[in-house]
Amino acid sequence: MDKKFELAIIIGSVRQNRFGPVVARWFLQQVEAYGGFHASVIDLAETPLPLVLPPEPPAMATTDARPAEMASVSKTLAAADAFVIVTPEYNRSFPASLKSLIDWHYSEWRAKPIGFVSYSGGSSGGLRAVEQLRLIFAELHAVTVRDSVSFARYWKEFDEEGRLMDPDDAKETASAMLVQLGWWGDALREARTHWAYPSP
C-alpha cells in the first residue's frame, strides 16, 4: 500500500450482552499490528437505524433522505476505502441491524472491498451469515475478499479477558485477509480516483 487508507470496522450485533465488541477489539489489535490502515469502528448498537425507510431506495433517491442523526455514520462509510463486517450468526443468518445499515446506503459501498469476521455459538462459525452478506454486497457493486476469520463456539475460543486462547491460526487468517483488503483497497481507490464508477 502506498499510504494508509481508511478501514471501517462494523460491529453488527445489537443484542444485549453481545460478544461482538470482544471480537472487534481482537480484530482491531490485528489491524494495528499489521499497519497500513487507519481504522474506525462503527457500533450499530450506538447507531440510529430507523425501521421505516424512505419512499425511494438510496440508489434512486434524488435527495439525501437519511435522517440527520445518521449523518455521522454515513460520512464514515463514505470516507472508507474498505470495510470489515463483524457479524454473529442468528438463526442461520446475520442480524437485522446489519441489513438496515446496508439498506440505508448505496454508493458508500460501491467499488470498495469488504472482509468479514464472524462468530457463532455453534459449529458454523458464522459462515452462513457471511455467505448471505456476500450476495448482498455483490448486488451493491462491492468486492468481498476471499479469506475471512471465523470463530465457532466462540465462548471456548476467548478467555475472560477477551484474549484468544489459541491465537496463531486466527492471526494468520486475519493477516491474509488484511493483505487482500490492502491490495483491493489500493486498486479500487486508484480506479475511483481516475474513473467514475458506472451508474446503475
**Per-residue pLDDT reduced to its tens digit, 7-44:** 999 999 999 999 999 999 999 999 999 999 999 999 99
Domain count, the chain: 1
79 is a domain residue: yes
Beta carbons within 10 angstroms of residue 179's beta carbon:
15
158 is a domain residue: yes
32 is a domain residue: yes
Comparing CA positions, the residue from 95, 76, 73 lying closest to residue 86 is 95
Q: Which CATH number fits the domain that encloses residue 120? A: 3.40.50.360
**Per-residue pLDDT reduced to its tens digit, 98-142:** 999 999 999 999 999 999 999 999 999 999 999 999 999 999 999
Residue 132's domain comprises 5-194
**Per-residue pLDDT reduced to its tens digit, 44-98:** 999 998 888 888 777 776 556 788 888 999 999 999 999 999 999 999 999 999 9
Burial 85-124 (b: 16+ CB within 10 A, else e): bbbbbbeebbbebbbbbbebbbbbbbbbbbbbbbbbbeeb
11 is a domain residue: yes
The per-residue pLDDT for 2 is 52
Residue 42 in 3-state DSSP?
Answer: strand
189 is a domain residue: yes
- Using an 8 Å Cβ cutoff, are 147 and 1 in contact? no
Comparing CA positions, the residue from 149, 57, 167 lying closest to residue 104 is 57
- Using an 8 Å Cβ cutoff, are 164 and 158 in contact? yes
- Count Cα atoms within 13 angstroms, Cβ side, for 126: 28
Residue 90 DSSP class:
B
- Count Cα atoms within 13 angstroms, Cβ side, for 12: 25
pTM for the predicted model, two decimal places = 0.94
Q: Name residue, grid cell 462459525.
A: 125
- % of the chain at pLDDT higher than 70: 96
